[in-house]
Chains A and B, each alone.
Chain A
Amino acid sequence: MDYATLKALKPTEFSDAADGFRRTGDMASAAQDRIEKQITAAMRKPLEGEAANAALGQLRELAENFHYTRVECGLISTALDGFAYDLEAAKKKLDVAVEGAQAERFTVNSDGSISYPPGGEKVDGELPKGGTVTGLTDATASAMGRQAANFDPNPHHGRAQQYADQIATALKEATEADEKWAPKLRALKADDDLTVSDRDWADVKKDAGGVLKVAGDYLDSIKEPPKDGSPKENAEWWDSLTAEEQAAYVALHPAAVGALDGLPSDIRDEANRAVLSETQATYQLELASIPQEPTKFAPNPNGSYPAVVQTQAWQDWNEKYGERHAFLTNSLKGMNAIQSRFDATGKDGLPPAYLLGFDTKGNGHAIVANGNPDTADHTAVYVPGTKSRLEGAGGDIGRMQEVWDASDQLAPGESVSTITWIGYDAPQSVAPEAMDKHWAHEGAPKLNQFLDGLQTVQGGADASHTTVIGHSYGSTTVGAASQQGDLAADDIVVAGSPGMLVPDADDLDVGRDHVWSEAARDDLVPVGGKVAGLGGLKWDVETWNGVPYNVGYVQVVPSDEAFGAHRMDVDTSGHSGYWDHGSQSLWNQAAVVTGRYNQVKEDD
């Protein structure tokens, strides 16, 4: 970049362009919301059939156009702000050098060279001549230039050389900024068709990475989020940013923003959904690139025992691709379930969904809310148990849809948000993993942080009536959370609990009267939990038909009378029936969630 160009460039023109893109992104965001949360939602109840489905399909695609536009505009505006930032820095250097030179009565020429007048002590009766110097940025050339200046009896020479070098440095930085930003920006050109394909989302992800790579200086100028901050600190950090800075963070660090407890739910949803779309697309493309799984079994060529053996082709395939194939398939199952939930808004009155957490690390995690918790009168957070992972999100999301539906019926006119929280690493087997307490102890702080985060955005402990629902080992995690901190909840419901690590409902932060247990007669988990030692210990006398047979510390779990919790009626069977549509088990949970305690049907 030459002097004349840099002199004429105005960084504000680039930030103005960034504003234009940002506003376009905002429009796209609002349009996407209108389609998903209002237009399609309003169509689902009254309309049915092939025509309606075709129309809804088109609306889904239109929403994708807006989603894509929103994410890309976020990247473009951030790139332009980033370039403006770098350009501004170079221009400042330039201006300082030019002002300095001009203050010393040097002339800054149109090519950036500097002309200095005669000056210094007369030599042989003559004033040392003036001259013109050009800036040098190369270290060696620069040193040589300074040396030459030192030999000149005209002191202006050295000064002029300094200014010229500063100008050259400014030009070099501006050129570097221009060269690094141009290709990253150019990559953000719009697609030339209106189908947002997997390839398109994968490109968005790649292009975002490209912008992130060169945005270092710009990002460094923005205050970082607090490391391991509390929800309150995270909220304060977010509020301290300008709109441009917030947009930059969502564009370049969507996963981090989406995971920050304390931030508004619609921001987390926006960030996480970008990650969801990009991840779905890249995983689908990767899966498509893996060769098809060969037939696994073939008749044993070497006799009749065993009758079939694994084919060599399959073994080779499995060694090379097996693990990755399983990971991609399972992750996609969960992601598709989440996407289905978004597509189902409006069906049977389902409210809009919010993706408050999402990642594919470890077993994969997801936090999906039915209805915005930030403004809900009643909030429920469901902690699932053993074998919970991203892959199974569909079923767990479905359960909270049922709770939402029942709660909505019990509390007309009041807003309810039910949240599926697959936010911890759950044990993946009943035995041996679920017999171990460490999952609960490690998951507990995450649950506490999440609940604190909700409390923060809702505006305090009294803002929303909150119920935590723990199923199976999830209830153990709730118990651990209660032990470790102050559970930010008003009521605790547990279903099929193997134990909550404490012996009495009073030991949980909500108070004994606010602990509600469900356990089906044929649910074997509570007993199994005692065997595994997940309950609390109470000194007790165990009797059989009135005859005492054991005195000592015994395991107490929430379904025991001794625990002191409300024991709600259960008309479903087994360990997983508690959310069966229309069941008393479900209604009881909804009654607690909506604070209609007198509608709970319980023993005694």
Chain B
Amino acid sequence: MTTSQALRRCHLFWIGWLALLVATSCGVRPVGAQPTRETRERTFQERAQPLLAKYCAECHAGDAAEGGLSLDKFSTARAIQVGRQTWLGVLAKVRVAAMPPDDADQPSVEERKFLIDWINDTINNIDCVSDAESGHVTLRRLNRTEYRHTIRDLIGLDYEPTKDFPADDIGYGFDNIGDVLSLPPILMEKYLQAAEEIVAQAIVTQGLGIPVVLDKSGAALDGAGSSYGEGARILASQGAAGAEFSVSSAGPYRIEVTACGQQAGSEPVKLGLRVDGKEVQVFSVKATDQAPEVLAFEFRATAGKHRIDIAFLNDYYNPGAAKPEDRDRNMIINHLEVRGPLDVKRDLPVTHQRIFFVQPNEKLSDQDAARQILERVASRAYRRPATKEEIERLLQLVKLARETGDNFEQSIQLAMQAILVSPHFLFRVEAIPAPGATSRPLNDYEIATRLSYFLWSSMPDDELFRHAFRGTLRKDQQLAQQIQRMLRDPKANALVDSFASQWLQLRRFDELTPSTRHFPGFNQQLGQDMRRETELFFADIMQQDRPITELLVADYSFMNERLARHYGISNVKGEQFQRVSLAGSPRSGLLTHGSILTVTSNPTRTSPVKRGRWILENLLGEPPPPPPPNVPELVEEGAALTGTLREQMEQHRANPNCAVCHETMDALGFALENFDAVGAWRLFDGKHPIDAAGQLPDGKQFNGSAELAAYLRSNMQDQFVRCLVEKMLTYALGRGLEFYDQCAVDIIVKHLKANDLRFSALILGIVQSDPFQNQGAKRSNE
């Protein structure tokens, strides 16, 4: 085969692809009578594979396959099912007899029919019983948005530096896909630093809390003994050391002595605590030099001067003892601190109060208070009850901090740092199915977590946790009620910021730089307004629980004066966004939003191709294949192609290799030509009048954006609904959809249609779906 033949074939490959895609992509239907997997594999080996080898392998095999398509990679019917996207294209070509090419051996009519039926059956007829799978969602790391929201809800802090975390990688169009979210060391560093900063901001350790009225190292006390080690004091014989202090108001005060002993003889060090010369308590100090302990005592103080003394009561010295460590008992004072008054309500930040919902006191030891505090924090952070073992390990960190000389609050800070970098916090951990099982139903904590990250990009709130704890989350109508409640919560804006902005590609707005030389009316502020319009519009559909088809045809939108003026709409005043009727204007629905029109344009001109492609990809769920290499691009002016953009593109389309896909893309895109590259209305492109008429390959015609929207609603509604379901299911699950998910998609679509296509029905359908409710085992063939 000559090179030109090869090229031609490569290009021919795309012919008919799109038209058939449109015709077949809704064709995935679960059906009743099914060939079993075994018979399907057998038919593949006995009949299909030999035909493919005979008629296709000459070109489409091996590394140098034509059009980059090597069919011999697919060695089982199962592999073909998994590679459905590729085989949809193959089916299209074989069906219209575009393949094999004219100059190659042709299959007989029967052979062709067999191949068409077999491929169609294999990739489109999914048996929702035998092919049923829930799919496995890989351990998901919190992405930047989720991290920030979770910290907000867990701690009560808006931790802004998350925007400096490395960008989360995108898969399937979204940044919450478990498989793709990696954790490079630089991010771990940021997590560690973030944890330190967050606890430092959330917890008050000095000053603002209960005032410290006396804070002295052992060495700084006066009285008996001498300085020892780093800042401590040792009492080698009976005696006392202490310090004076004064308080301005009467009330309960708390004394904390950090001490230990060099133990010897039959009993531990006895420490006498004296307040104003009177012994108030005697402590047995069993701690050794390695790990001093904290002794606490509360007392009522009057305003004025006071003195605390710490006495060593049971000196012991026996130089004749057999073992050296039995010879000498001494007492070591590390630190003395007095705080109070304890009964005055302090102006502590909410973040602090929320964490320290209990305080150590006479009845509650430091350790027990720390345990209660950490149990609550860890259970919320891990989004399930923390285990005893986990809490014990956290208490080890508390102990370490106390031994280092930190106060109670600081010791909680350290344990919380650990919680905030634990994999149980940074990842959403779900248990895997038992060995041999294909899936397991998620428990209520896991469902609450999936639900809250889906709708809020954040952790569950107390109400969800309560239902999870009681096991009532899925009882009766609870899920539906919770969804209604959650969608009304301002936190549901996350669905706009994370889902809608990625689905509609609004995030790309930040990277766009329309040429101000060509569009002097455009500036960053206007760009922000455009994005805002679309966000508010989506949020309105969500909050008002409107039919999702309104996204395409709504006769209202949201704008402020600046944006309205850009659109040529009068009577909108001020900086505030307001709901504006579009009656009488050429605009309706998403497609006429400045944001979408700008995102799909080049910096200097509109791109009907990009607009058409955007519609196919994001509204109809049919991404066109990328262009084959070596296709000449549009020339802007002069040179070979002349006339308006439309004329240029029509010349371009005269090339049959291009026409296949472009007939559809261009027709869709041209309907929007009355909007320039920054979404302003226009009647002329330069000196050429705009012609916004388009005709699809199937003969359907429309002229202008309004007719396009009407066409999409009347002819493409099913496809649009299905596309939105697939996009949102992908987002909700955090994984790409597989062929077997078509069964779940069907059920969700049905549920939606039975509920007037209401937004909440979309959410409920997804939440109730099998892949959302279960965690599958990883498929063996992956």
- Decide whether A and B are members of one complex: no
Footprint of B on A, CB under 8 Å? none
Footprint of A on B, CB under 8 Å? none
